[in-house]
Structure 1
Amino acid sequence: MGVTDYAAFVVTFVVLLMIPGPGNLALVLSTGKGGVRGGLASTLGIMLGDQVLLWLALAGVAALLAAYPAAFSAVQWLGAGYLVWLGVRMLLAKPGAAAVLEIRPRDYFRQTLLISVLNPKAIIFYMAFFPLFIDPQQHQGMLTFGFMAVTVAVLTFLYGLLAVLLTHHLATRLRANRRVSRLLERLAGVCLLGFGVKLALTR
């Protein structure tokens, strides 16, 4: 299919999925609030967001953002603002409230989709990541890109499913202790604020 080292591509992407970030945090929060359904909806949001960024990168949006720094900064600040807004909502939410993530699966889906899409650096990443595993001699154009995109989607779903099941198991136990649950919610809010500030300050 034009991929030089498929095994290395798979392993590398799985490792990247495991790196802590706002997407992983949102996935955990969605599962804690909405159970398995909420977590899976969140996983689908991440999957769709990744696919949007991936194909935008292949379409050359990365080059456009590099050529127009103002556009890149605008998207970056928009994403940072969204993360800060989520973090503040969590910190100000009353104990027992739905906090950031509501009980409807479509809300989980929408929020993780926005978190993924409003990260312009991800477009640059895909633009730099894919060529590392493409064989210029065996490259088959859109077929190769499509094969890699499907692989990314499948790996993201499997990782999300495992994370959701593990989080759901732990969340069931933690709900019995309201103080610990509230402390974790506040910690999550601080982390979201931190991710937003980091995104805003990163160049």
Structure 2
Amino acid sequence: MLGITDYTTFVVTVLVFLLVPGPGNLALITSTSKGGIRGGLAATLGVILGDQVLMWSAVAGVAALLAAYPETFHAVQWLGAAYLAWLGFKMLLAKPGAAPVLSIKPHHFLQQALMITLLNPKAILFYMAFFPLFVDPVHQQGLLTYAVMAATIAALTLGYGLTSTLLTHFLAERVRANPMISRVLEKVAGLFLVGFGIKLAVSR
């Protein structure tokens, strides 16, 4: 299919990676719990936009640049780690009744998810290694092949984000009435963000 080998396996693999817990999933859940369905959909759009930038950066050879200059890679890596940890600490230190760490305005949720996605430089290397697995070197059609793959990932992410948003919103309605549960969930989310930041910083 347009130079893509085993398109079905490609789709299944992308879905599996979407299900793996990570900063992007946490951004979707947190945005939905704070901003409802609009917040969750805005965060989904942010993740999609961030993924598109990373994917096309990988195609353009940014991954090779990062691999050739490790100091650049580690600088961006530390920046992403610091950003995630900063968000996590703000959640952990937030006092009961204080304004939420994440703004309730949907466009802020988009920015938040976009930044979390972009500040993960290892994702560029992942796409650089992932795409060739499904590109037929004989029948590939250049940018068109990569465009179809990128569009597929965007569509799958949109479907996954919509499903996650609706499920999270459905569950959030049942815990929103209990402030204690909301505070505990925010602290847990903060711990996960700090953990993601530390993992990103120490990984090589």
User: Does TM, scored on the shorter chain, surpass 0.5?
Assistant: yes
What's the secondary structure of 1:188's corresponding residue?
A: helix
What aligned pairs does 1:51-62 form with structure 2 within 5 A after superposition? 51-62=52-63
Deviation at 1:97, TM superposition (A): 3.2
The alignment-based identity, stated in percent, is: 66
Distance 1:22 1:142 in 2: 29
The corresponding residue for 1:35 is 36
The corresponding residue for 1:171 is 172
CA offset digits 1:8-49 (Å, max 9, x no partner): 000000000000001101110000000000000000000000
Whether the 8 Å contact between 1:87 and 1:190 is mirrored in structure 2 is yes
What aligned pairs does 1:120-135 form with structure 2 within 5 A after superposition? 120-135=121-136
Distance 1:52 1:99 in 2: 28
Distance 1:98 1:129 in 2: 40
Whether the 8 Å contact between 1:33 and 1:98 is mirrored in structure 2 is no
Matching of residue 183 in structure 1 with residue 184 in structure 2? yes
Whether the 8 Å contact between 1:28 and 1:39 is mirrored in structure 2 is yes
Superposed structure 1 runs of 4+ greater than 3 Å apart: none
The answer for unaligned runs of 5 or more in structure 2 is: none
Amino acid corresponding to residue 145 of structure 1 in structure 2: Y
What aligned pairs does 1:1-150 form with structure 2 within 5 A after superposition? 1-150=2-151
Distance 1:94 1:161 in 2: 31
Task: Give the TM-score taking structure 2 as reference length.
Answer: 0.98
Amino acid corresponding to residue 108 of structure 2 in structure 1: D
Whether the 8 Å contact between 1:31 and 1:37 is mirrored in structure 2 is yes
Amino acid corresponding to residue 181 of structure 2 in structure 1: V
Amino acid corresponding to residue 13 of structure 1 in structure 2: V
Whether the 8 Å contact between 1:89 and 1:99 is mirrored in structure 2 is no
Larger CA deviation: 4-13 vs 91-100: 91-100
The answer for unaligned runs of 5 or more in structure 1 is: none
Whether the 8 Å contact between 1:80 and 1:197 is mirrored in structure 2 is yes
Task: Give the TM-score taking structure 1 as reference length.
Answer: 0.98
Question: Over the residues paired in the alignment, what is the CA RMSD in angstroms?
Answer: 0.7
The corresponding residue for 2:152 is 151
CA offset digits 1:152-192 (Å, max 9, x no partner): 10000000000000000000101111111111110110110
Amino acid corresponding to residue 179 of structure 2 in structure 1: R
Distance 1:105 1:35 in 2: 9
Larger CA deviation: 94-103 vs 111-120: 94-103
What count of residue pairs does the alignment treat as equivalent? 203
CA offset digits 1:128-165 (Å, max 9, x no partner): 00000011111000110111110010000000000000
CA offset digits 1:73-104 (Å, max 9, x no partner): 00000000000110011111122334321110
Amino acid corresponding to residue 178 of structure 1 in structure 2: P
Amino acid corresponding to residue 93 of structure 2 in structure 1: L
CA offset digits 1:99-122 (Å, max 9, x no partner): 321110011000100000011100
